[in-house]
Each structure stands twice: as structure tokens, then as C-alpha cells.
Structure 1
Amino acid sequence: MRITLSLIPVAVLLAACVTTPPAPSAAAQLAPTQGNTAIGSVKFVSQGGKIIVSGEVSGLKPNAVHGFHIHDKGDCSSGDGMSAGGHFNPEGKPHGAADAATHHAGDLPSLKADARGVATFSFESTSLRVGEGMTDVIGHGLIVHRDPDDFTTQPTGNSGARIACGVITRR
């Protein structure tokens, strides 16, 4: 008796063993600066040439808008968040809205808190990268500001005090 093994089941089994590497991702845990209550978590996930930025921040002023930026230094050691430096701007562009033709790489859409002081968000960025290139977010600071960003005042957007700070790390 002769037994013949079909190559099709073997090929199917081998294909099942091949896995697609996970998309590059990063995250930040936001902690309050001195005298503030804002906390949260933010994810950065690479997806089809874009970065999906999503998360939730609580402890914000209810029904208020807050500036939200990636800052140059991944350092939250000072009580006021100033150790994170200025906005992340490796290309030397002027400050502006994240959807404007010209803006800092670190300019993100503002956060809008609900009546409970919670901002839940998800948006896409084509300016940022995770794990590669000049606009790689890993190792930079993430700041939530007390006031809304006016998207015109240079170089900061006049967003006021830093009320939460986190460092973006690879996941």
C-alpha cells in the first residue's frame, strides 16, 4: 500500500505559521503636573502610512478645550512640565493647527473635555512616525495644556500652563 501526502495541507499549515509583524506602536501615560489633576493614556499606532493617535484624558476642566502637543524632550521631572522643553519641531516649521499645510510635527488637535472633565479622542496624523524618521514620536514628551491652542501665536499657540505630562515610549 502506497501513501501519498498531498502538499496542499502542508502548504496551508506552513502559511498558518507565518505571522505578520505587529504595526509599530508607542504609548504615553499622562500624569498631573504640580497642583493639577489631569491623567490619561495615549496610544500611537502606525497604520497604512498614517499614525492613529487615540486615548482618554480625565481630570480636565469640564466643557473646556485644552492645547495638546508633543514636546521635544521626554522629561517630565519638573513639577510644572517645563522640563519637556518646547514643541517637537524637527523640521523647523511655524506653529499651526495639525491639519494646516504648515505646522510643528508636535502640533496635535486640541482636546475637548465633556461635562465630566473627560476628553476621549482618536485622530490620524500623516506628520508623525513611530520608530523611524525625523518625526518619530518615541522618546518625546506629551503635554496637555490648561487653555485652548489659538494655532497662531508663535511658537506655542498661547495654550497656557502644562497640566499633564507623559513620555512617549515604544510598545
Structure 2
Amino acid sequence: MKIRALLTAAALTAALPALAQENAGTPPAKGTAPATDKKTPPKHQTAKAQVKDSQGKDVGDITLEQTKQGILIKGKLSNLPPGQHAFHIHEVGKCEAPGFTTAGGHFNPTKKAHGLLAPKGKHHGDLPNLYVAKDGTVQFDIFSQNGLTVKSLFDKDGSAVVIHAQEDDYHTDPTGDAGGRIACGVVEKT
């Protein structure tokens, strides 16, 4: 629980100055066009994933929205086992039950080691654990700013979001010792 709180605090601390500066600065002089950053991803590029469990039952939706600083990932899920669960973006847009192995490994185009705490990490698909309440529900907003873009999720074989049976230990390569895959959703353009 302490690691989760520390990771959340670190992510918010890193994101807030960038978000605060997004619209800061002096307005352009009258008659001039605002400066543009050619490396900035397109605004309002979005995607979604309808997540299903291993029996094919709907457990909720996850949305991904591109911002200048990274991707905002939001979700509201239900009918999951209570407790901590690893949550990752996987490299293939296939979710064949019951094991969801068709989703491949973690989305990792930079070929880094797994884990938010790994010295040689992290995968672009590594995300913080989700804490599912006793009633089987979880609602979350996660901000990922490690180079992941909505556009990159739509390579030739797509991508998927996966929820694992156990929590991610944030350092064991390649999966964080997260256990089996209990829910999966193919990432689709919106």
C-alpha cells in the first residue's frame, strides 16, 4: 500500500507542473499565429477498450486520451476479485479467453526491463496497480508520461489492456510477477 501511495504521489508531482504550464505563457502578439511544437502529439486523440473477463462478461470500459504531456487513462470496472491487481498495456490487440495470451507481452517498443522501480525499466505498457474494493469495483485516473502515445497503440497488430490476477511488484522482469490474466480489452479508435 505504501508503494502505491508513493507511486501515485510521484506521478502527480511530475504531471502537475506540466499541466499547469500547458496554457501558461504570454499570448502571441496581435496579428501573429501562436507557435506550434512539431513534436506535440495531436490533441484529443482518443481510444477506448471494452474489458471482458475470462467468461466473456463485460467488466467495464477504459478510455485513453492523448495530451501534450502523455496519456490520461480512465476506467470504471466491476465484477473483479477484490484486492491489488496489475494493470498493463499489452502488445497485441487480441483478447481470446480464457487466458488472454493472444495479447502478447507488455507493450515495450523501447525494449526496456519491466517495472516502475526497475533501474533499467520501464515498459511503455507498465502502469500502476489497481486496487479493487470488496464489492469488486474500481474507478481510476492514471497519467502515463513515459513516451506512450495513443497513436503508438495502433501499430500493425494493435494493443490491449490487461488486468492480472495478482499485483505487480514493479521490478520483476518481464511481468512483475503479476500472475495470470483475468480480464482484457482490445484498444480501439474512438
TM-score for the superposition, normalised by structure 1 = 0.77
Deviations 1:34-67 (A, max 9, x none): 4x867121000012332110011211222x0000
2:60 match: secondary structure: strand
Matched, 1:56 2:72: no
Deviations 1:86-119 (A, max 9, x none): 1111100000128988300000111101121111
Structure number with higher relative contact order (C-alpha < 8 Å, ≥ 6 residues apart): 1
Distance 1:150-1:92 versus aligned 2 partners, 3 A rule: same
Alignment correspondent of 1:43: 63
Measure the CA separation in 1 of the matches of 2:101 and 2:95. Answer: 8
Matched, 1:157 2:176: yes
1:110 to 110, 129, 139: 129
Distance 1:99-1:39 versus aligned 2 partners, 3 A rule: farther
1:106 match: secondary structure: coil
> What pairs up with 1:123-142 in 2 under 5 angstroms?
123-127=142-146, 128-131=148-151, 136-138=152-154, 139-142=158-161
Aligned-pair CA distance for 1:141: 1.3
Structure 1 residues not aligned, in runs of 5+: 1-20
1:116 match: secondary structure: coil
TM-score for the superposition, normalised by structure 2 = 0.70
The Cα RMSD (Å) is 2.2
Structure 2 residues not aligned, in runs of 5+: 1-41
Alignment correspondent of 1:30: 51
Deviations 1:118-158 (A, max 9, x none): 11100111121012xxxx12320110001000112110101
Alignment correspondent of 1:91: 110
Of Structure 1 and Structure 2, which has the larger fraction of its residues in helix? 2
Q: How much identity, in percent, do the aligned residues show? A: 37
Measure the CA separation in 2 of the matches of 1:56 and 1:100. Answer: 31
Measure the CA separation in 2 of the matches of 1:167 and 1:26. Answer: 10
